[in-house]
Structure 1
Amino acid sequence: MNIPAIDLMTALRSGHSTSPRLTWYGPDSERVELSGRVLDNWVAKTSNLLQDELDAGPGTRLRLDLPAHWKSMIWALAAWQLGMEVILDGDDAELLATSEPTQAGDGFDAVIAVPLPALAMRWPGELPAGVIDYAAEVRSHGDVFMAHNDPDPGQPAVRRSGGTAVRHADLLDGFAAGHEGGARLLVKAADGLEAALANALGVWRNDGSVVLVHGDVELTDKLLAAERIDGD
């Protein structure tokens, strides 16, 4: 049985690979656009960091303590590509990816600090001892990912905020939201990471694209028209 997330990444990098797949609007006029090829590149690098530096693999649990953001999308896809379980609520996990490393609790095998500004080359300021700087480390990893171990479709892929688990085999049918083919979908970051991931998966599986917008960004008619958003 195939792993839907792996099939999805194959589709993103092979079909219309230069077309926008994920566009982010953040504070301070920040705009980031990732084509299918560039999105796959970021996901591959992050998967390689997880596998090669943190010994992550099928069944490893990753807590995403991140807001809805283009980098949190990268982290989730990278984890699913490895066959890991993404935890959206609670601290019962081996690894923690967080934008607030100074508030990280104990009990994780590793903590990874994820700076949110697009141009950040390293974490701004001092990090607690032992915390990994994602921005500084990820660029050194390979652009192509090859798993050391085959993921298990029967293992959990994501644990929702209410505690319900969805298997890898069911990720696109049991977790992804339903969207029409080729949609250019507005996703509001203020609705939370779980909703953003579900909507993005639902759009990408049907050859569409996502415009993810931070809550502080005004949704003007000009923005909606420029991005050719199908509806809000």
Structure 2
Amino acid sequence: MNATEHTPADLLRTALAADPSRPLVTFYDDATGERVELSVATFANWVAKTANLLQGDLAAEPGDRLALLLPAHWQSAVWLLACSSAGVVADVGGEAAGADLVVSGPDTLEEARACPGERVALALRPLGGRFPQPPEGFLDYAVEVPGQGDRFAPFTPVGPDDPALALPGGVELTGAEAVARARADAESLGLSAGSRLLSALPYDGWEGVSSGLLAPLAAGASVVLAPRLGALDAASLDKRKESERITHTAD
């Protein structure tokens, strides 16, 4: 725990300073066989590039609301921390029509078209691949993000009392409240530095977002995201837990 960790983005900065090479987020798509592992440094680089895209090309300002229409995925985790970095409110599963901008996966494009502002689409293909044909009316994230800067500095400092996260049911959290909840969840789960949490929970509310990113980040632990874990039989699940050195589960 660090006294300077007031926002989710602060948690990432602490992790980067402590050990940039350790694994932070590992993602499995058990429908395709995809496995992606991101170190703290690699994850932080994606966050910086995405925050630069938000602040620069998309002209997002602190307090703007971004409807986050994405499943549990490593790129979804990147967007959560990019929003925190830029002071943009990540509205998990939020109404696109009332948002300043929207980020959508391939399955929610029609819903996302209701957003009057900028629209970004993620193909969620292996290795962060782009759409074969970009959806009309959307920027393709995989096309736009590679050229962004590797370091991010917000035009306006993001404070702990600034709104950070909106959740289904009308719950809204400041950066400080999100960090406090994440720390409490980490303690409740028994997470500590070096823990490996396997999460099959969707990113459709606090429990999934916390277990799938924020609680492990707050504890100096790492997360293995496997939203389609139910496709595995018992033997395959045991093998997964052994190969990934899983110490805790959230499903």
Length-normalised TM-score, structure 1:
0.92
- Specify whether residues 75 and 164 from structure 1 end up closer, same or farther in structure 2 by C-alpha distance, changes over 3 A only: same
Q: Percent identity?
A: 32
Q: Which residue of 2 aligns with 1:181?
A: 192
1:171 to 2:178 alignment: yes
Q: Pairwise CA RMSD of aligned residues?
A: 1.9
Q: Which residue of 2 aligns with 1:222?
A: 239
1:105 to 2:96 alignment: no
Q: Residues 100-123 of structure 1: CA distance to partner in whole angstroms, max 9, x if unpaired? A: 324423243111001111234322
Q: Which residue of 1 aligns with 2:19?
A: 16
Aligned residues: 231
Shift of 1:47: 0.3
Shift of 1:175: 5.3
Shift of 1:72: 0.6
Q: Residues 192-214 of structure 1: CA distance to partner in whole angstroms, max 9, x if unpaired? A: 46433212211111110000002
Q: Which residue of 2 aligns with 1:204?
A: 217
Q: Give the secondary-structure state (helix, strand or coil) at the position aligned to 2:181.
A: helix
- Specify whether residues 151 and 231 from structure 1 end up closer, same or farther in structure 2 by C-alpha distance, changes over 3 A only: closer
**Structure 2 residues without counterparts, runs of 5 or longer:** none
Letter in 2 for 1:198: S
- Specify whether residues 191 and 153 from structure 1 end up closer, same or farther in structure 2 by C-alpha distance, changes over 3 A only: closer
Length-normalised TM-score, structure 2:
0.85
Which protein has the bigger helix share? 2
Q: Residues 61-82 of structure 1: CA distance to partner in whole angstroms, max 9, x if unpaired? A: 1110011111110001000111
- Name which of 8, 28, 31 aligns with 1:5: 8
Matches within 5 A, 1:135-174: 135-174=142-181
**Structure 1 residues without counterparts, runs of 5 or longer:** none
Moved over 6 A (4+): none
Partners of 1:32 and 1:153 in 2: CA distance: 31
Partners of 1:231 and 1:107 in 2: CA distance: 38
